[in-house]
Structure 1
Amino acid sequence: MEGIGRRVQIIKDRATVRYIGTVTGQEGIWVGVEWDDPSRGKHNGTSGGVKYFECDSGLNAGSFIRIEKVSFGCSLLEAVIARYTGQKGELGDVDQSEMYVHTAQNRKVNIHLVGEELIRTRQSQIQHLTSARVVGASVSNMDESLLIGSSLPSLTELDLTCNLLSSWEAVHHLCTALPKIQILNLSDNRIAIPASIAVDQQQLIGLRALVLNDCMMMWRQVLTLGAVLPNLDELHLCGNNIKSLISSENERDSDIYHLATTFSKLKLLNLEDNLISTWKDVQPLAALPNLSRLHLSNNPLSEVDYISNVNALAAASTSTSVPVDSMIPSAPDSGPGSIGPRSIAPGSIGSGSIAPGSIGSAGQTEPASISSASRLKEPFPCLECLLLGKCNLSDWMHVDQLGLFPVLKELRITGNPVLALSKSGGRFEVVGRIGGLKLLNGAEVRQVERRDAELRYLQNILAEVEEAPDADAKELVQRSHPRMQELVARYGAVLGTNGRAQQGSSMASNTIQLKLTCVATARGATMGSQVKKVPLSINIAALKLLCVKLFQVKAGQVTLFLRRPGDPVPEDMGSDEERPLSVLGIQDGCEVLVDECDSACAERR
């Protein structure tokens, strides 16, 4: 029956049409709907003992509504005209501040009043639009291709969040009519995806970013769409209740192969706010050759297992009888900019819909193209950013697995139970365990912080080794810290350790020779330099007391700066007076500059 499956709006609520016709005992034509909000429903399609339709959700989400009370929506052009030409329609008056076009220099130029009226030449007004945001406008159908193409010839970004779109055919029709479209946001629409797409269906080669947040989209439907999206750079799938990217255990290998060949150019995948709970559920992503950003925040993910990715890729290559280097296409050329995380407004990151002009970069640094041979060795070969905020990671071994990702530079891990295992909040442990991080939880990891964190982490490891009761226990400690050997090799001399430190030899009684130089100009302070040997175990508070005695600076107003050999710029030794010198990586030949600041300055520190 015509109209079945269409999306409609009744006052402020949306629903899907399941039946149109008469109802026994009632006059007129009725529309049987399945509400998006099941609590609005009264039954499952049955009235007076007669079954008229079935709710797909299986819930009592159905109702009968008189047809005259049902809004079947409007066309895209009607909505655009209402929004951008001052026409009064379902959207009402349009805020003049939101009416603009882009110039050739990509500047926004507002459409101004002429006398008492807005410019109302519809075609000339919307023909120059490059970005359009038509949110919550009850768009349910597309106009003829020729009409759309001639009316919106310059459109590259379109936001259709929260409308009444119901079929992929309509979306495909739109994109073929607008060949310049690059960014399309279809969030919060219930779009029916066919089980398969005809091989002769025109590919949408210009589309680079697709947003399908809160669309009740299943992963197999996403793979189906991939057949016509050969150049997709970004894909956003937040809030779709996706549990796994694996169809079944028996189809794991084919799923890996399918994903790698379907989305070979994908650089950003956003799967936040879904139901992914185990790492095996995202294993197919390891084969994506150009994936540089993966967003998994707000999933009940309880583990990270990089090693399993290696095994999965090898198994997929064997099972499909296709070499891995053939399975994964060559890295593509860089595409145009990207739109960023889930909720996109110009210059912001949040939750919601994409706004015009929000085109950005999928990653701060474009990963270098990699050869097929290197792909044989490493899963996630280009992954630079991994967002795991508010997941369910509860063991440090999963953080250690993150250190195995070959080019990981940015990580978000806030809100995970594992951080509660650390008295200090866990930042130094994460930095110490993952060697290549440049950005952690949105904050830059500077070279000084990395050195301090790695030294502090290594000291904790060595303390664990020393406290272990026997050789087996010591070996177990070492196995639980994969970076231990690397860090001992890097900092052993600084800590006064050698290979025996791995067996728990004591680091007590190690000393360091420092040049202490007073640069304070306050009355009573003695300027000059003295060379002193001090134990590495001394903390900054004790070193300050020594400087008070040597240079007569005022206690409580001493500030210390460390200048390393060959480094002309001294660094602030910080306000944490409990830190031992060993944590700072101080070696023989370092100079400590002693200055004096007033009480107000000291409080700010």
Structure 2
Amino acid sequence: MNLLEPSLPNLEILQIGFNLFNELGKSDESTPVAEQKIKGFEKLENLHLEGNKLVDWNQVLRLSRFPKLKSLDLSENRITNIIGPQDPEDFKLLESLRLNDNDLKEWSSIDQLGLYKSLTSLWIANNPVMAKAAEDATADNSGKPDVRTITIARMAHINQLNGTEILKKNRIDAELYYLKNAAFSTVGSEPSAIRALHPRFEELCELHGRPDTSDERRKATSDLLKDRLLNITFVTKDSIDGPAKTTVQRGVLGSMTVRNVKNLVQKLLRVPAMRQELLFMAEDPVYAGVMHKVFLKDDLRMLSHYDIEDDTEVIVLNKAK
């Protein structure tokens, strides 16, 4: 890239994808790679490096001093881990970063990305860490946070993830949910160990309050997690009183959250989670034989919160219709 710059001093967009680069110019073995900044490109705002063979984030840091760089595409490379800014000038204006289809394996890389404070839009699908988290969250219906929730909670500054806007409510929900799970999973751990696993933990406690992890609360949570498997029939309808369109049965735990139920329904019935309105009919606690509608409105609540019973029929309405 150093060879290109003298001939292209006014360049604003540079596309050099699919060139099999594994480094960005020759390196001086006597100096750390991250300190060997590529100079020039004073007007460059948008740089495409997708489809190359970059592995080392230190090579990427060589681009960090382009004074107007706002968008960087590193999709389809082989980057294995991320390193945060080495000084305040690194990628000072970078707003948009694409890291789809790389080889990120640890959540620590996402934590490091969160240190680039100007970064507001991130694309990060199809990395091993995401695939593993998705499997963990759905394989045992355990109510663990999903991939999007974890990513939003770990990165304080992004407002768009994989092309989808993060609303204020989305962020609050994600941070509360993540904070609760982080607290219960680290009960008894040293503060340094908690910080290593969840760098934003104390920050989130200051924002939302410290979760109650007392013995009583843990026992209550433990009891919920032991709930028997509930046989639920999910039925798609155009209206509450309308005919059933599609029906499927599944066993779910009472400890499963409404958010994860919606994700499950999305896979089973092809109704997008964001469009779903879930409800079931329950007998009125006062008037025998009178049925009333119970809406599953709170994505962060467990099914057991709604006293849902075995063999219940849950109606799935598509709010887009």
What TM bracket, shorter-length normalisation? 0.5 to 0.7
- 2:150 equivalent in structure 1: 429
Shift of 1:257: 6.9
TM-score (norm 2): 0.66
Match of 1:446 in 2: 167
Q: Deviations over 1:364-417 (max 9, x none)?
A: xxxxxxxxxxxxx34111111110000000011111101100111111111100
Indicate if the aligned counterparts of 2:283 and 2:291 stay in contact, CA closer than 8 A: no
Note closer, same or farther for the CA distance 1:390–1:580 as it changes in structure 2 (3 Å cut). Answer: farther
Counterparts of 2:284 and 2:115 in 1: how far apart (Å)? 47
Aligned to 1:400: 111
| Map of 1:265 onto structure 2 | 43
Please state how far the C-alpha of 1:244 moved relative to its aligned partner. Answer: 1.0
More relative contact order, 1 or 2 (CA 8 Å, 6+ apart): 2
* TM-fit CA distance, 1:506: 6.3
Q: Secondary structure at the match of 1:294?
A: strand
Q: CA RMSD in A?
A: 3.6
User: Rg larger in 1 or in 2?
Assistant: 1
* Pairing of 1:99-248 with structure 2 (within 5 A): 219=1, 223-248=2-27
2:68 partner amino acid: N
Map of 1:372-521 to 2, 5 A cutoff?
A: 377-422=88-133, 423-424=136-137, 426-466=147-187, 468=189, 471=190, 475-492=192-209, 495=211, 497=212, 507=217
Q: Which moved more, 1:262-271 or 1:388-397?
A: 262-271
**1:579 and 1:292, CA in 2 relative to 1: closer, same or farther beyond 3 A?**
farther
Gaps of 5+ in 1: 1-218, 311-376, 511-521, 523-536, 562-572, 582-598
Q: CA deviation at 1:293?
A: 0.7
User: In structure 2, the residue corresponding to 1:285 is in which secondary structure?
Assistant: coil
Contact 1:243 1:276 in 2 (8 A): yes
Shift of the 448–383 alpha-carbon distance from structure 1 to 2, 3 Å rule, reads same
CA distance in 2, matches of 1:550, 1:294: 61
- The verdict on how the C-alpha distance between 1:421 and 1:505 changes in structure 2, with shifts beyond 3 A counting, is farther
Distance change in 2, residues 1:300/1:553 (3 Å): farther
* Deviation (angstroms), 1:276: 0.3
Contact 2:53 2:77 in 1 (8 A): yes
Superposed counterparts of 1:568-579, under 5 Å: 573-574=298-299, 578=302
Matched residue SS, 1:264 = coil
Task: Work out the CA distance in 2 between the residues paired with 1:559 and 1:400.
Answer: 36
In structure 2, the residue matched to 1:128 is none
List per-residue Cα deviations over 1:74-127 (Å, max 9, x = no partner): xxxxxxxxxxxxxxxxxxxxxxxxxxxxxxxxxxxxxxxxxxxxxxxxxxxxxx
Partner of 1:315: none
Cα pair distance change 1:253/1:232, threshold 3 Å: farther
How far does the alpha carbon of each residue in 1:289-345 deviate from its partner, in whole angstroms, 9 at most, with x for none?
A: 2211110010011011014x33xxxxxxxxxxxxxxxxxxxxxxxxxxxxxxxxxxx
Secondary structure, in 3 states, of the residue corresponding to 1:269? strand
Gaps of 5+ in 2: 138-145, 221-239, 241-254, 262-278, 306-312
Give aligned pairs, total.
249
Q: 2:77 aligns with which of 284, 299, 307?
A: 299
Mapped partners of 1:294, 1:547: distance in 2: 56
Contact 1:256 1:287 in 2 (8 A): no
The offset of 1:430, in angstroms, is 0.7
Q: Distance in 1 between matches of 2:115 and 2:93?
A: 13
Match of 1:249 in 2: 28
Q: Secondary structure at the match of 1:602?
A: strand
Q: Deviations over 1:119-148 (max 9, x none)?
A: xxxxxxxxxxxxxxxxxxxxxxxxxxxxxx
1:241 and 1:488 map into 2 onto residues whose CA distance is 44
Output the CA distance in 1 between the equivalents of 2:196 and 2:34. Answer: 33
Could you tell me which residue of structure 1 aligns to residue 308 of structure 2?
none
Q: CA deviation at 1:421?
A: 2.6
Letter of the 1:224 partner, please give it.
L
Question: What TM-score do the two structures reach when normalised by structure 1?
Answer: 0.37
Helix, strand or coil for the counterpart of 2:42? coil
Give 3-state SS (helix, strand or coil) of 1:456's partner: helix
In 1, the alpha carbon distance for the partners of 2:24 and 2:55 equals 11
Residue 285 of structure 2 is matched in structure 1 by: 549
Amino acid at match of 2:165: E
**Secondary structure in 1 aligned to 2:157?**
coil
Task: Give the match's secondary structure for 2:9.
Answer: coil
Match of 2:294 among 542, 558, 569: 558
Letter in structure 1 aligned against 2:207 = R
> Is the counterpart of residue 604 in structure 1 residue 315 in structure 2?
no
Structure 1 pair 539–233 and aligned structure 2 pair: CA distance change class (3 A): closer
8 Å Cα contact 1:465-1:478 kept in structure 2? no
| Percent identity of paired positions between Structure 1 and Structure 2 | 28
For 1:6, the equivalent position in structure 2 comes to none
Please give the alpha-carbon distance, in whole angstroms, between the structure 2 residues aligned to 1:263 and 1:449. Answer: 37
